Amino acid sequence: MTINMATKEQWDNANNAAATKLDPAFNSASNPIVFTVKEEQKGQQPFKLPDDAAARKAIPIYTGVIKYFPRAIAAIAQLSLTGGIQHGQTADTLHWDRNKSGDEKDALMRHIIDEDWDQVAWRALANLEKHLEGRE
């Protein structure tokens, strides 16, 4: 069975199982989530969720994003891997090579015209990430 063939019930069961496993990472100040920064991203600060428990709980990553859009998130993740492999990466070395990704808005518009919605979502996320980084 592929991701796109999963029923809502199958997604909910998988998401509930994943959330159970992830809860300690989201609720423990001693185990903050830090994203790895690759060599080409040096100079940028790695993103870190707040240390304050109330502030952390005010960012409902699972219930506010993953649970809303499980198929879309899976499609974007699959697209990221496919794109990484296309650019010489593997599943183990997958990273956002920003040298090959700089025209998010133009690319996003091209993908809208083509109705390639997983690419639109990826480009929108890339643009938003860069925008938020610029505000830090």
Nearest to 104, CA basis, from 75, 78, 134, 64: 134
pLDDT digits (tens, 9 = 90+) for 4-25: 455 656 655 654 554 444 333 3
pLDDT digits (tens, 9 = 90+) for 92-107: 999 988 887 778 899 9
pLDDT digits (tens, 9 = 90+) for 26-77: 333 333 344 444 444 545 668 889 999 999 999 999 999 999 999 999 999 9
CB-based contacts of 123, cutoff 8 Å, min separation 6: 104, 105, 107, 108, 111
Separation of alpha carbons 88 and 64, rounded Å: 33
Indicate the pTM of the whole model. Answer: 0.64
How many degrees, rounded to 5, is the angle at CA 130 between CA 30 and CA 67? 55
- Is residue 48 classed as helix, strand or coil in its secondary structure? strand
Q: Report residue 14 as tokens.
A: 């998988």
pLDDT for res 14: 54
CB 112 within 8 A of CB 120: yes
Give pairs for 18-23: CB < 8 Å, separation 24+. 18/62, 18/66, 19/62, 19/63, 19/67, 22/62
